[in-house]
Structure 1
Amino acid sequence: MKVVVFISGRGSNLAALLNAQQSGGFEVVHVISNKASAYGLEIAQENGVNNSHIVWTDKQQGEQYAIEVLNQVKPDLIVLAGFMKVLSAQFVAQFENKIINIHPSLLPLYPGLNTHQRAIDDGQTIHGASVHLVDDQLDHGLVLSQCHVEITQQDTADSLAVKLITKEHRLLTETVALIAANKLTWIDSLALNGEPLASALVIE
């Protein structure tokens, strides 16, 4: 299964995908970043993965360049991994059911930014991350899988991020591997090995 990864920053989820691709039955064939300074582009280069920096100042133009790359590469799956732009409804429609995003909260709780601090401020005791299908709304769409971490009284936003990151990597890589194996599907309804799931798959 061919995967294109969109990034904006350090690329830790990208690195996790690259490390897992051989055993996971998928291949990261291209990396797109909206930031030239994104360390994830260096990770792509070090791993011999084709990559593009697309200036996203003009959203319509940025998306058009991305569409041109995607039409050339023809990926089976597009993974947004720390990509800090909201895609338009027109873009999503062109790649319907092919775009997933990883988000550091238990969606539908806390779409957007500063998820760790918001969870702490609300007195939550459980936090986590979600992999979801992308639609035309921010951090919205069918949630495919989730992982969980406990919030203690000592936790800060930074400590929670550290606590979550390794679980986040596992969540993303295992979800993509299940998709590659055609075990996790969602066209009619969310299912694992053909059996309907009442809620998101939990991967701890």
Structure 2
Amino acid sequence: MRVPSQFYLEGTNLQALIDARNTPSLPGADIVLVVSNRKAAYGLTRAAQAIPPIPTAYLALQPYLKANPTKTRQDYDAEIARVVVRAKPDLVVLAGWMHIMSEDFLDFLTGDRALDSAEPVSHPIPVINLHPALPGAFDGANAIERAYEAFQKGEIKHTGVMVHRVIKEVDRGKPVIVKEVEIKDGEPIEVFEERLHKVEWEVIVQATAQVLEETN
């Protein structure tokens, strides 16, 4: 089973997947590629230091557009899709990827649209995303901070973490795994965030294993 992982800066969710490879939590799985749109993402280092090392790719939107003045945001997303498709994954895991992809990206991975200079997609490649909120709550960026603020205002009693299938609406795909996370009275946001991240590390592995089993 082949999984490319995409992530943000620290790469701790990626590390959870690296540590779970070929264990009872994620048996028979490998990570074939790590893609980042942030050059400083520590996940690139985590991938390079893994045993064996995991191939990486870096491609940021603005440098890409600057180097290719006739290209568009859709062209960039197509290039990301091309990089992913060439790795021939069974699953794409968005583990902290903060760039919202265009609709074309998913069409390329499902095979609904063909990529130039790339092998045709033989079967749809599912995409899942880790989001630190419950379904339908705090879609988009800064979900942890927004949930913590809502708790302080008495608007919510708890929040959570979910891994969901990626569709064209942001953070609205069908949940694969959902877990509630308590926010404690008087708890500093840093302590709450640390507890929530530990739940993220568990559910990203569980959801990856579940979708791979369904796919294969």
The question of 1:54 aligning with 2:54 is answered: no
For 1:32-181, list aligned pairs within 5 A. 32-47=35-50, 48-57=53-62, 58=65, 59-96=73-110, 98-122=126-150, 123=154, 124-181=156-213
Unaligned runs of 5+ in 2: 66-72, 111-124
Residue type of the partner of 2:9? G
Change beyond 3 A, Cα 1:150–1:73: same
Q: CA RMSD in A?
A: 1.8
Unaligned runs of 5+ in 1: 186-204
> SS where residue 95 of structure 1 aligns?
helix
Deviations, residues 12-63 of structure 1 (Å, cap 9, x unaligned) = 0000000001121321110000011110000011110000011222433432
Number of matched pairs: 184
Q: Which residue of 2 aligns with 1:29?
A: 32
Q: Assess if the C-alpha contact under 8 Å between 2:159 and 2:182 holds in 1.
A: yes
Give the structure with higher Rg (CA).
Answer: 2
Deviations, residues 89-122 of structure 1 (Å, cap 9, x unaligned) = 1111222461100000112100112222322332
Q: Assess if the C-alpha contact under 8 Å between 1:117 and 1:156 holds in 2.
A: no
Q: Could you tell me the TM-score, scaled by structure 1's length?
A: 0.84
Deviations, residues 52-88 of structure 1 (Å, cap 9, x unaligned) = 0112224334323222222211111001111110011
Q: Assess if the C-alpha contact under 8 Å between 1:125 and 1:152 holds in 2.
A: no
> SS where residue 136 of structure 2 aligns?
coil
Q: Which residue of 2 aligns with 1:191?
A: none
> SS where residue 178 of structure 2 aligns?
strand
Which structure is higher in strand share?
1
> 2: distance between equivalents of 1:144 and 1:137?
16
> SS where residue 197 of structure 2 aligns?
helix
> SS where residue 22 of structure 1 aligns?
coil
